Structure 1
Amino acid sequence: MTGSARELIGAVQAELAPRDDENRLVPLVEAGEAPREVFAAIAAEEYRIVRSDWRSFLHLAARSQEQWAREFFATLAAGEGLALGKLAALAEERPGFEPRAGCQAYPAFVAWLALNGEPADVIVAIVANFAAFGRYCAAIAAAMRERYGFEDEACAFFDFFGTPSPELEELAVRAVQAALDAGDLSEKDARTHARLFQQYELDFWNTLADDGRRD
């Protein structure tokens, strides 16, 4: 697979890259300076996020007319199902949990895109954010072991998302290329979606960082 799909995804990733280090929580975790309770807080928020994203990706798969786009979103949805099962080792779901608006803006936007976004535009935006999200998760998994003494089972959620998936990225490239070839992709909308994805993700991490300081 060659040409413009990979170039477009790479260009959008490069446009986002300067803000990747605005995540204030991950450096605290890497230094062992975040409170241990932050991991349970992440898990509590993620219980809600993962279940929402799972449904959103299934809806995007159902809306997608193109084969590779359907496979991409179906694969993402399957991954969310796997990820959900890895949260229990980190913290139990709490019935009285009150979600933070700054953490839940991300899945709210994914749900909006599931109803309103063009699938190929959404794929560009999601994949453009993969590198930063994967780096965050890998860094947290390493610090949980080295700084906080967590066992592998408790780190499984972050290990899962911190491990690259060449197969998923290849599905994305095929889907984006098909949309480009058919003239069914808006680069402007894809870039807008990607920018908002990045901001909402930073809001997730930074909301937790700020809450930890207040605690």
Structure 2
Amino acid sequence: MSAARELLDAVRAELAPRDAENRLAPLIAGGTAPRSVFAAIAAEEMHIVPSDWRSLHTLAARCDGPPARSYFSGLASGEEAALARLAPLAAAAGLDDAATRAYEPRAGCQAYPAYFAWLALNASPGEVAVALTTNFGAWGTYCAAIARGMREHYGFGDDACAFFDFFATPLPDDDAVAVVQAGLDAGTLDRDAARRYARLFQSYELMFWNTLADAA
């Protein structure tokens, strides 16, 4: 097993016990969250996705080698694809253009993209790859549970669920492993910093969901 794979597996294991702290996903999965929460998710994500897209392109521009540039550019393309899937969710949740413009984002929801932007400027690409890859597992699990709940309890169709379906499919992590290994080999990846960034990333992820749970 490569050193990069060992690091990613270790950080995932360290952070996995916190997955149960998401208080909104179980409410949606069980059908007890108010329907209005989907409009709030869509409105918040309309701010988050473009920000994350810019952060990923910033990281790609900072990378010296083609594999890392391709990794972050590919993730940015995924954010662009996700943005196209937000409009059907917003429409199904009753969020029109006027309501979208009038919506005031919550600080607890926007802390995640703000921290991502900080990482894009301050962390090494390999360290960010550790944080992102670790968080993707939790994010994908939440999205899968939410998509199921939307269909089973709220009557949403495939178009409305497409945003969550898109992220529910796990991404192969071979490219991320290569970026992490390159950082380790070059001596630009600090293991302690990578763990710290991953922990904070997960904390901000949970803050997003729990801010919406508190407002529901």
Normalising to structure 2: TM-score of the pair? 0.95
1:136 paired residue number = 142
Q: Quick check: 55-64 or 92-101, which moved more?
A: 92-101
The CA distance in 1 between the partners of 2:73 and 2:66, in whole Å, is 11
**Residues 66, 175 of structure 1: 8 Å contact kept:** no
Deviations 1:124-179 (A, max 9, x none): 0110111111000000001100111100000000000111121xx11101111111
Question: Which one-letter code corresponds to 1:160 in the other structure?
Answer: F
Matches within 5 A, 1:116-195: 116-166=122-172, 169-195=173-199
The CA distance in 2 between the partners of 1:95 and 1:59, in whole Å, is 26
1:64 paired residue number = 63
The CA distance in 2 between the partners of 1:15 and 1:70, in whole Å, is 28
The CA distance in 2 between the partners of 1:82 and 1:120, in whole Å, is 24
Normalising to structure 1: TM-score of the pair? 0.95
**Residues 68, 172 of structure 1: 8 Å contact kept:** no
**Residues 68, 171 of structure 1: 8 Å contact kept:** yes
Q: Give the superposed CA RMSD.
A: 0.9
Question: Which one-letter code corresponds to 1:28 in the other structure?
Answer: L
Q: Give 1:202 deviation, angstroms.
A: 0.4
Q: Give 1:67 deviation, angstroms.
A: 2.2
Superposition misfits of 4+ residues, deviation over 4 angstroms: none
The CA distance in 1 between the partners of 2:103 and 2:65, in whole Å, is 39
2:3 paired residue number = 4
* Residue 89 (str. 1) matches residue 81 (str. 2): no
The CA distance in 2 between the partners of 1:180 and 1:192, in whole Å, is 16
* Residue 208 (str. 1) matches residue 207 (str. 2): no
Gaps of 5+ in 1: none
How many residues are aligned here? 209
Once the two structures are aligned, what percentage of the paired residues are identical?
A: 63
The CA distance in 1 between the partners of 2:23 and 2:119, in whole Å, is 26
Question: Which one-letter code corresponds to 1:10 in the other structure?
Answer: D
1:13 paired residue number = 12
1:41 paired residue number = 40
